[in-house]
């Protein structure tokens, strides 16, 4: 399919669901801004989002679901989550919560961390799409990295051109700024991103104590958050040879032999496939308890820039 814009009708819903099941991207309206949406269970589809946005880092993405029961399948629910969800869902509020142990959502959505940002959008079209898809949808704002979030289908097309095969036109977004993001993983909530749901409105529910938003919290540099996964084994980059007591994170076909364990990010040298595998492979190599995780060179092009950024953080002295 070649980039088209559809107004919402049953064909548009069927097309979107089909594309999602194929691992493709669909631009969808929400009440806040348009989102560049993919199946959150499919790591390669999620990697395509980063690829199209041209993000230099893997920022965690918001997962959109149709109802609260679905949300509770993926995250550890808390009292504050219940209070806020009751009051503001569906609506422009994203809750950051711990992933459940059995959470099947791609680790790339969480940028390798153990938390998940989740919300139920308040837009009839988005809800219709989510119900028809019957699964979690990851969607950042549908703009290129560093550009403004689109609030009409036309803005989304201007931003992305034909990079997404389908744009669903649900009219102009009513809220027009991105959702409020609140981190509920600590003892007090943290406002990570202000939005239409303000602290004043939340105070009416009896939630008044906030922890200050630390300078290196998510908004500024998500990849540096301590909650982001850093392996416990030292990481050695640009490895072209390996020792027998090392684990190897390989890429491409020219893989040095002799490592204790090897996982190949992408034998065919595909950066999208590599990004999709990155966090889960790092995690399993770390669990294999070898002296070092050696990592083969990854090309510094396209998604390789984000992959290398994350690998450099994983290898940084700590």
Least distance between Mg ion and beta carbon 59 (Å): 8
User: Residue 101 and residue 85: Cα distance in Å, rounded?
Assistant: 21
Task: Decide if residue 95 touches ligand TXA (CB under 6 A).
Answer: no
Task: Decide if residue 47 touches ligand TXA (CB under 6 A).
Answer: no
DSSP 3-state of 82: helix
Buried b (16+ CB within 10 A) or exposed e, 212-229: ebeeebbeeebbebebbb
97 Cα distance to chain centroid: 14
Q: Which does 264 bind (CB under 5 to 8 A by kind): Mg ion, ligand TXA, none?
A: none
Task: Decide if residue 179 touches ligand TXA (CB under 6 A).
Answer: yes
Task: Decide if residue 116 touches ligand TXA (CB under 6 A).
Answer: yes
Is the Cβ of residue 224 or residue 261 nearer to ligand TXA in the bound state?
A: 224
Task: Decide if residue 60 touches ligand TXA (CB under 6 A).
Answer: yes
- With CB under 6 A as the contact rule, which of the stretches 78-86, 107-115, 253-261, 270-278 interacts with ligand TXA? 107-115
Buried b (16+ CB within 10 A) or exposed e, 136-159: bbbbbbbbbeeeebbbbbebbbeb
User: Residue 188 and residue 216: Cα distance in Å, rounded?
Assistant: 17
Which of 15, 24, 42, 110 lies at the binding interface for ligand TXA (CB under 6 A)?
110
Report how far apart the first and last C-alpha atoms of the chain are (Å, whole number).
Answer: 47
Task: Decide if residue 51 touches ligand TXA (CB under 6 A).
Answer: no
Q: Which does 59 bind (CB under 5 to 8 A by kind): ligand TXA, Mg ion, none?
A: ligand TXA
DSSP 142-184: SS-TTSPPP-SHHHHHHHHTTSSSEEEE--S-SS-SPPEEEE-
Task: Decide if residue 61 touches ligand TXA (CB under 6 A).
Answer: yes
Task: Decide if residue 112 touches ligand TXA (CB under 6 A).
Answer: no
Which of 106, 141, 262, 308 lies at the binding interface for Mg ion (CB under 5 A)?
141
Task: Decide if residue 136 touches ligand TXA (CB under 6 A).
Answer: no
Q: Which does 222 bind (CB under 5 to 8 A by kind): Mg ion, ligand TXA, none?
A: ligand TXA
β-partners of residue 182 are: 95, 191
Residue 16 and residue 168 in contact, taking contact as beta carbons nearer than 8 Å: yes
Which of 188, 214, 219, 316 lies at the binding interface for ligand TXA (CB under 6 A)?
219
β-partners of residue 7 are: 169
217 Cα distance to chain centroid: 16
Q: Which residues are at the interface with Mg ion (CB under 5 A)?
A: 141
Q: Which residues are at the interface with ligand TXA (CB under 6 A)?
A: 30, 32-33, 35, 59-62, 92, 94, 96, 110, 113, 115-117, 121, 139-141, 178-179, 181, 192-193, 218-219, 222
């Amino acid at each position: 399919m070649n980039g088209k814009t559809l107004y919402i009708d049953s064909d548009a819903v069927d097309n979107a669901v089909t594309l999602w099941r194929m691992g493709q991207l669909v631009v969808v309206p929400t009440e806040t801004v348009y989102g560049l949406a993919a199946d959150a269970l499919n790591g390669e589809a999620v990697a395509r989002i980063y690829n199209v946005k041209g993000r230099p880092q893997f920022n965690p993405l918001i997962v959109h679901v149709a109802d609260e029961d679905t949300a509770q399948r993926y995250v550890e629910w808390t009292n504050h989550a219940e209070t806020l969800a009751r009051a503001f869902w569906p609506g422009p509020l994203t809750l950051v919560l711990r992933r459940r142990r059995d959470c099947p959502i791609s680790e790339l959505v969480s940028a390798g961390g153990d938390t998940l940002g989740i919300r139920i959008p308040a837009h009839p079209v988005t809800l219709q799409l989510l119900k028809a898809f019957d699964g979690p949808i990851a969607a950042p704002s549908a703009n290129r990295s560093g550009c403004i979030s689109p609030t009409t289908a036309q803005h989304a097309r201007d931003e992305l051109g034909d990079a997404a095969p389908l744009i669903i036109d649900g009219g102009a977004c009513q809220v027009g700024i991105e959702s409020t993001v609140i981190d509920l993983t600590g003892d007090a909530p943290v406002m990570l991103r202000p939005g239409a749901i303000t602290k004043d409105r939340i105070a009416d529910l009896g939630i008044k104590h906030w922890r200050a938003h630390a300078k290196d919290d998510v908004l500024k540099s998500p990849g540096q958050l301590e909650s982001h996964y850093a392996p416990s084994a030292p990481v050695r980059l640009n490895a072209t040879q390996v020792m027998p007591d090392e684990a190897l994170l390989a890429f491409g076909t020219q893989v040095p032999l002799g490592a204790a364990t090897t996982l190949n990010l992408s034998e065919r040298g595909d950066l999208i496939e590599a990004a999709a595998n990155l966090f889960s492979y790092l995690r399993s190599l770390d669990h294999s308890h070898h002296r070092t995780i050696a990592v083969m060179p990854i090309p510094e092009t396209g998604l390789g820039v984000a992959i290398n950024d994350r690998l450099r953080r994983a290898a940084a002295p700590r």
